[in-house]
């Protein structure tokens, strides 16, 4: 490649590094705001808020598109960065005699490729810990709990289907020992399953001498689940995945013997991220040609503030979960 072609391709690579890098900064802000719910609300309220948030993030079409752009940006940013580093090395195989790295560039700038690679390793392992459980594997528990005060308790049957008491009371009718539903939400196999549970429970009750009304279904429940959808009438077929418990247990020293190890990895990674952003943020503006003598110092300071505050708040999340 001729020298000018090399420079042109370097400029293009820098441009796209900047665009994807700034987009990833936006992602960090959004991700941080969502994750802060893990420490801002406690107990059942916090669990519910975070699981509802995770459900929304997984089902909103706009967020889904943003997620795919995020994945593409991470891959593009990493590959582009590696290619740029190789290209720069090739273009200048021997260091200039007058090259004095500490005078010519700040420490993070020379370390950008190494820091970026470490962040990539962090992202891959981090996604294996949480994202994989949430999106791909079926390992994740559902958010189930029983509340005496729930207006509409949803029962969770052996086949992991949900049925609401309100529906049973409003739409069910009893014929002999069986309940029949007029609601379209229930198919024949679900109806059959509920009836099987009622018969089983009635048999058990008879053995212990109890007298049970078949519509008094609370006595037959195996597990129960409060419906906590924001929309009054919406039944969430697959249930809320309990991502909150997964994250909390991950960093909880009593529940996870490796929690201290994960905490250290996360805190170090946030330090690495801080260094990467320290240089990257302002440098992205430069690569996009958005630099102006008047604003350069402002952009630099804003970038440095971003580089410290965002990773610090991210690191605070596992620290607080661990020490509580």
Q: Which is nearer to ligand HEM, 172 or 311 (CB)?
A: 311
Is 126 an interacting residue with respect to ligand HEM (CB under 6 A)?
A: yes
- Binding segment for ligand HEM among 102-110, 130-138, 223-231, 290-298 (CB under 6 A)? 130-138
Number of residues written out for the chain: 324
- The 3-state secondary structure of 194-253 reads HHHHHHHHHHHHHHCCCCCCCCCHHHHCCEEEECCCCCCCCCCCCCCECHHHHHHHHCCC
- Binding segment for ligand HEM among 173-181, 215-223, 289-297, 311-319 (CB under 6 A)? 311-319
Site string for ligand HEM, 271-290 (x = CB under 6 A): --x-----------------
Q: At what angle do helices 3-35 and 61-91 cross, to 10 degrees?
A: 140
Q: How far apart are CA 172 and CA 170, in angstroms?
A: 6
Task: Answer whether 38's CB lies under 8 Å from 26's CB.
Answer: no
* One of 36, 49, 57, 215 touching ligand HEM (CB under 6 A): 57
Is 317 an interacting residue with respect to ligand HEM (CB under 6 A)?
A: yes
Token pair recorded at residue 233: 């009438």
* One of 15, 16, 111, 130 touching ligand HEM (CB under 6 A): 130
Euclidean distance between the first and the last CA atom of the chain, given in angstroms as a whole number:
58
Token pair recorded at residue 51: 């699981």
Q: Which is nearer to ligand HEM, 119 or 179 (CB)?
A: 119
Which parts of 15-54 interact with ligand HEM (CB under 6 A)?
31, 35, 54
Q: How far apart are CA 211 and CA 247, in angstroms?
A: 44
Q: How far apart are CA 288 and CA 290, in angstroms?
A: 5
Q: Which is nearer to ligand HEM, 21 or 214 (CB)?
A: 21
| Nearest one of 130, 139, 198, 148 to 168, comparing CA atoms | 198
- Binding segment for ligand HEM among 82-90, 119-127, 136-144, 193-201 (CB under 6 A)? 119-127
CB of 166 to ligand HEM, least distance (A): 29
Residue 242: count of CB within 10 angstroms of its CB:
21
Q: Which is nearer to ligand HEM, 221 or 244 (CB)?
A: 244
Q: How far apart are CA 269 and CA 187, in angstroms?
A: 49
* One of 58, 87, 168, 296 touching ligand HEM (CB under 6 A): 58
Site string for ligand HEM, 68-97 (x = CB under 6 A): --x---------------------------
Task: Answer whether 263's CB lies under 8 Å from 322's CB.
Answer: yes
Q: Which is nearer to ligand HEM, 35 or 283 (CB)?
A: 35
- Binding segment for ligand HEM among 82-90, 131-139, 179-187, 283-291 (CB under 6 A)? 131-139
Residues in Cβ contact with 320 at an 8 Å cutoff, skipping those fewer than 6 apart: 39
Is 243 an interacting residue with respect to ligand HEM (CB under 6 A)?
A: yes
* One of 23, 186, 314, 322 touching ligand HEM (CB under 6 A): 314
Q: How far apart are CA 242 and CA 245, in angstroms?
A: 6
β-strand partners of 226: 153
Number of chain positions touching ligand HEM (CB under 6 A): 22
What does the binding site for ligand HEM look like in residue numbers (CB under 6 A)? 31, 35, 54, 57-58, 67, 70, 119, 123, 126-127, 130-131, 134-135, 243, 247, 266, 273, 314, 317-318
């Amino acid at each position: 490649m001729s020298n000018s072609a090399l420079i042109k391709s370097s400029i293009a690579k820098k441009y796209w590094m900047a665009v994807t890098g700034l987009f990833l900064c936006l992602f960090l802000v959004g991700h941080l705001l969502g994750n802060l719910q893990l420490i801002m609300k406690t107990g059942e309220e916090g669990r519910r808020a975070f699981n509802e948030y995770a459900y929304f993030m997984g089902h909103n079409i706009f967020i889904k598109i943003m997620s795919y752009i995020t994945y593409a940006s991470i891959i593009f940013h990493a590959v582009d960065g590696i290619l740029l580093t190789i290209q720069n090395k090739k273009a200048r195989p021997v260091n200039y005699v007058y090259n004095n790295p500490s005078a010519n560039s700040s420490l993070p700038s020379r370390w950008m490729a190494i820091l970026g690679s470490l962040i990539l390793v962090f992202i891959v392992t981090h996604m294996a810990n949480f994202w994989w459980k949430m999106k791909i594997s079926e390992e994740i528990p559902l958010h189930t709990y029983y509340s005496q005060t729930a207006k509409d308790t949803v029962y969770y049957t052996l086949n992991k289907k949900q049925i609401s008491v309100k529906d049973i009371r409003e739409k069910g009718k009893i014929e002999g020992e069986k309940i029949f539903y007029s609601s379209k939400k229930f198919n024949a196999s679900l109806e059959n399953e509920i009836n099987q549970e009622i018969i089983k429970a009635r048999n058990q009750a008879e053995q212990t001498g109890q007298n049970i009304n078949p519509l008094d279904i609370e006595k037959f429940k195996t597990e129960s689940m409060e419906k906590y959808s924001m929309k009054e009438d919406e039944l969430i077929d697959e249930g809320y995945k309990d991502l909150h418990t997964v994250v909390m247990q991950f960093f909880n020293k009593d529940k996870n013997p490796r929690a201290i190890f994960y905490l250290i990895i996360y805190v170090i990674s946030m330090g690495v991220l801080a260094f990467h952003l320290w240089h990257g943020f302002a440098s992205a503006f430069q690569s996009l040609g958005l630099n102006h003598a008047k604003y350069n110092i402002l952009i630099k300071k804003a970038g440095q503030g971003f580089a410290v505050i965002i990773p610090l708040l991210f690191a605070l999340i596992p620290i607080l979960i661990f020490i509580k």
